[in-house]
Amino acid sequence: MIDIQGVSKSYQRKTALNNATMKLEQGKIVGLLGPNGSGKTTLLRILVSELRADSGSVSIDGEKLSPALKAHISGLTTSDFMPAGMTIQEAADTYESFFNDFDMERFHQLLKEVDLSPDMKIGSLSKGMKSKYALALAISRKAKLIVLDEPLDGVDPVAREEILRLISSGFSQDSTLLVTSHLINELERLLDEVYFIRDGEIRYIGDVETIRAEKKMSLDELYREVYRR
């Protein structure tokens, strides 16, 4: 269980996150959905220790986030992190040398599913292909928490479908996945649980099955309804 308690963060005078609280259970794919500039990336950067929160705490299975625990979090905040001259295989070898929990076999399997091959040069990949390879890297780690920031951003509808398939087939029940998006409709069928965010304020909405059964509306419609009030 990942426990995020009262996390706040401001940049100069701008409050990007205000008292964010989330409980993320093992085996769940959790969506953090909200418009551009609502604070999603700020939260993910705090989780991968790229940013320090002003207040609040994050713990994993009851232990406060520390440099040792940081190794259990796999993050993908950008897909341009390996040199263009490397092949996908070389990038994976580099990743493997950094992360003990990297599963090369799973990575190769996922690559195959999205028609990429290990000998392709990173510099020759299209934006969509790059997103897929980077995503395959991130989800091939046996991490306790995997965070994906806007994995569908900037890719065409066909690549989006493939990315969604890749996430669901690569996801292990031993992990927890936190995924952000402003593309609420596209992400909906992947998710077990949903939080909405607006202006740095996070709201727990519930599990997607229950929402569907009880509210009989899409998450996008629900988002509009929640923030109309």
* CA 69-163-139 angle, 5° bins: 20
Q: Which of residues 181-200 bind ligand ATP (CB under 6 A)?
A: 182
The helix-helix angle for 104-113 and 127-139 (nearest 10°) equals 150
Query: For residue 8, how far is the Cα from the chain centroid?
Result: 19
State in angstroms the smallest separation of the CB of 109 from ligand ATP: 30
State in angstroms the smallest separation of the CB of 159 from ligand ATP: 19
State in angstroms the smallest separation of the CB of 145 from ligand ATP: 18
16 near ligand ATP (CB under 6 A): yes
State in angstroms the smallest separation of the CB of 50 from ligand ATP: 11
173 near ligand ATP (CB under 6 A): no
Residue burial 32-71, b: 16+ Cβ < 10 Å; e: rest = bbbeeebbbbbbbbbbbeebebeebebebeeeebeeebee
100 near ligand ATP (CB under 6 A): no
56 near ligand ATP (CB under 6 A): no
Please tell me the distance from the alpha carbon of residue 1 to that of residue 160, in angstroms, as a whole number. 29
Structure tokens at 119: 């000998």
Binds ligand ATP by CB under 6 A, chosen from 36, 78, 100, 173: 36
Give the binding-site size for ligand ATP (rule: CB under 6 A): 12
Please tell me the distance from the alpha carbon of residue 166 to that of residue 106, in angstroms, as a whole number. 11
State in angstroms the smallest separation of the CB of 17 from ligand ATP: 7
Q: Which residues of this protein are in contact with ligand ATP, per CB under 6 A? A: 11, 14, 16, 34, 36-42, 182
